[in-house]
Amino acid sequence: MKKIIKGGKIVSTEGAYVADIYIEDETIKMIASEINPTSDEIIINAEGKFVFPGSIDVHTHLSNIGQSDNFQDGSIAAAAGGVTSLINMNDQLEEGESLISHINKWKGIAKDAVIDYSFHEVIPGERLNDKIIKELPSAVEAGCTSIKVFMAYEDKIMSDGQLYKLIREASKLGLTILVHAEEGEIINEMIDEQIKSGKVEAINHAITRPDFTEAGATKRVLDIGDYWNAKMYIVHVTCQKALEEIRKAKMKGTNVIAETCPQYLIFNEEYLKLDKKESAKYICTPPLRKEFDQKSLWKGINEGLISTVASDHCSLDLNGPKKMGEVNFSQIANGMAGIEDRFLLMYHFGVNEGRISLQTFVDLVCTSPAKNFNLQNKGTISVGKDADIVILDPNKEKVISEKIQHQTVDHNPYEGIKVNGDITHVFCRGNLLIENNTFVGEIGEGKFLNRRVNN
Ligand code: URP
Ligand code: ZN
Ligand code: ZN
């Protein structure tokens, strides 16, 4: 099928210019100031609109335990939010299961995706052993070139010795190591203290995970990464102190990429003081921080310390895993939904409100994520790349609401926020997936992205 997107303003990390885009099959074949239709092309009028590369969300939790969004629902929601590729956390490695059978199992779970996808192989501390380490090359061969580790959470936490060993072996293969950096042991102690003294409200979630625990873990793991010259990627950076550790590491030459998420830029810990049901929406780890941390994250973006904004999408129902019940803050499932809103939130709070340029925006949500994870055909609009395209009308507005979302979660943490600008069309490899918030694609059209290690 041939298509011409006419007269839109194409945005790249270098600038923005008005041109036509000619798409044949799945690929961008030509970009020129004027492309005349010959016969059977479908014409999409993009005059007065921005034309962005399809966005890439490199941190999602579709089909993880307790999540209401599976790959089908979650990827439709992603598409509605301008996302044309995602990288999901492959959770739940069973005892004795090999990495390759786990990856293959996830290929089955993801088969109904409507956008392109890849995986980060999650290796919980309790599953790390010599057998798993020996199997790392099989993950690379299967196109899964990044692993995710945790320095917090009961069953997932890794000791420094485990981290050292895994990072050593992963770095030899060129794998990227994603790290959830929080000092889990200190945090567990703090949670016990608070609960024993009857402090059970949601704000204690932030009190028991102070910024120094994130910064300390970030420093520890980056020291190990630096020692082995590994490719390190710190997920969901939330605070100034952790950013300072990342700055220091970068200055001494550590190979580190930092990610943050819209929730840490838009919300702060005041949301944890709302009433029980409301505050449960805003429980995520690391927790929402203080206003000065939010400012330092925006600054970190503009200084190039943070190169990616991902959603860390978790679809946890208020009437499900987030139900506080009669217990305490530590029982509320952590994580926030955002796959559908990340793109517009970053456009609105970033570009419209003057915190970042249009070029930085496209870099954060499209171009850098593609580069960081070696998605070679993605992330920019140029000839030969996949025709992954998002058209945004800056003159429309959207009020974010659970009522119009495609995410299947029973609330939306951004409910009622009005953003200036709305997505009108989303194409993944030339296939129209979304037209004015309606899914018009086909289930299972998404492809597994077989990644190679970045050299
Ligand atoms: O609160 C969060 N971020 N939940 C998802 C799991 C994780 O730590 O990424
Ligand atoms: Zn995490
Ligand atoms: Zn996550």
> Where residue 327 falls among pLDDT bands split at 50, 70, 90?
confident
Confidence (pLDDT) at 454: 73
Q: How far is C-alpha 96 from the chain's CA centre? A: 29
Cβ within 8 Å of residue 139, ≥6 positions away: 99, 100, 103, 121, 145, 147, 175
Residue type (1 letter), 356: I
Distance 210 CA to ligand 1 centre (A): 16
> How far, in Å, are 48, 82, 420, 422, 425 from residue 396 at the CA level?
11, 15, 6, 6, 13
Residue 285 beta carbon below 6 angstroms from any ligand 1 atom: yes
3-state secondary structure of 261: coil
Mean of the per-residue pLDDT values of the chain: 97
| pLDDT score of 279 more than 90 | yes
Tens-place pLDDT, residues 210-248: 999 999 999 999 999 999 999 999 999 999 999 999 999
Mutate to test the pocket of ligand 1, among 158, 334, 342, 409 (most ligand atoms within 8 A of CB): 334
> Measured from the CA of 283, which atom of ligand 1 is nearest?
1
Residue 367 beta carbon below 6 angstroms from any ligand 1 atom: no
With contact defined as beta carbons under 8 Å apart, do 222 and 254 qualify? yes
Distance 235 CA to ligand 2 centre (A): 7
Taking residue 97's Cβ as centre, other Cβ atoms within 10 Å add up to 13
Distance 392 CA to ligand 3 centre (A): 27
CA-closest residue to ligand 1 atom 6: 335
Residue 358 beta carbon below 6 angstroms from any ligand 1 atom: no
With contact defined as beta carbons under 8 Å apart, do 401 and 342 qualify? no
Average pLDDT of the residues in 363-375? 98
CA-closest residue to ligand 1 atom 4: 335
Distance 121 CA to ligand 3 centre (A): 12
> Measured from the CA of 285, which atom of ligand 1 is nearest?
1
The runs of H, that is alpha helices, within 81-183 are 99-109, 130-134, 136-141, 160-173
> How far, in Å, are 27, 72, 129 from residue 49 at the CA level?
21, 29, 52
Residue linked to tokens 């217990």: 327
Cβ within 8 Å of residue 176, ≥6 positions away: 145, 146, 147, 231, 232, 233, 257, 372, 373, 454
* Ligand number nearest to the C-alpha of 179: 2
CA-closest residue to ligand 1 atom 9: 312
Residue 88 beta carbon below 6 angstroms from any ligand 1 atom: no
> Where residue 455 falls among pLDDT bands split at 50, 70, 90?
low
Specify burial of residue 144 (Cβ count, 10 A radius: 0-12, 13-18, 19+). Answer: buried
Confidence (pLDDT) at 139: 98
The runs of H, that is alpha helices, within 81-159 are 99-109, 130-134, 136-141
Residue 316 beta carbon below 6 angstroms from any ligand 1 atom: no
> Where residue 277 falls among pLDDT bands split at 50, 70, 90?
confident
CA-closest residue to ligand 1 atom 2: 335
Assigned token pair, 113: 């995706």
Going by C-alpha positions, the residue among 161, 174, 99, 110 that lies closest to residue 133 is 99
How far is residue 161's CA from residue 139's CA, in Å, rounded to a whole number?
22
Residue type (1 letter), 161: G
Residue by residue, DSSP assigns 43-81 as: EEE-TTSEEEEPEEEEEE-TT-TT-S--HHHHHHHHHHT
Residue linked to tokens 């710190």: 234
Confidence (pLDDT) at 276: 85
What percentage of residues in the chain have a pLDDT greater than 70?
99
Going by C-alpha positions, the residue among 158, 332, 350 that lies closest to residue 260 is 350
Average pLDDT of the residues in 368-378? 98
Average pLDDT of the residues in 250-274? 98
Distance 207 CA to ligand 3 centre (A): 20
Confidence (pLDDT) at 325: 58
CB half-sphere exposure, 413, CA atoms < 13 A:
33
| pLDDT score of 324 more than 80 | no
Residue linked to tokens 């927790």: 287
Assigned token pair, 191: 């949670």
Surrounding ion ligand 2 within 5 Å at CB are 180
How far is residue 334's CA from residue 386's CA, in Å, rounded to a whole number?
35
How far is residue 406's CA from residue 361's CA, in Å, rounded to a whole number?
24
With contact defined as beta carbons under 8 Å apart, do 416 and 399 qualify? yes
How far is residue 269's CA from residue 297's CA, in Å, rounded to a whole number?
15
Q: Number of helices and strands (H, E) in the chain?
A: 15, 17
Residue 310 beta carbon below 6 angstroms from any ligand 1 atom: no
Distance 101 CA to ligand 1 centre (A): 24
CB half-sphere exposure, 225, CA atoms < 13 A:
29
| pLDDT score of 347 more than 80 | yes
CA-closest residue to ligand 1 atom 8: 285
| pLDDT score of 299 more than 70 | yes
CA-closest residue to ligand 1 atom 5: 335
Residue 371 beta carbon below 6 angstroms from any ligand 1 atom: no
What percentage of residues in the chain have a pLDDT greater than 90?
97
With contact defined as beta carbons under 8 Å apart, do 44 and 425 qualify? yes
| pLDDT score of 254 more than 70 | yes
Residue linked to tokens 């921080």: 289
Tens-place pLDDT, residues 99-127: 999 999 999 999 999 999 999 999 999 99
Mutate to test the pocket of ligand 1, among 58, 284, 311 (most ligand atoms within 8 A of CB): 284
Residue 391 beta carbon below 6 angstroms from any ligand 1 atom: no
Least confident of 84-98, 186-200, 314-328, 425-439: 314-328
Specify burial of residue 10 (Cβ count, 10 A radius: 0-12, 13-18, 19+). Answer: buried
Tens-place pLDDT, residues 35-56: 999 989 999 999 999 999 999 9
3-state secondary structure of 19: strand
Going by C-alpha positions, the residue among 320, 453, 383, 410 that lies closest to residue 28 is 383
> Measured from the CA of 180, which atom of ligand 1 is nearest?
8
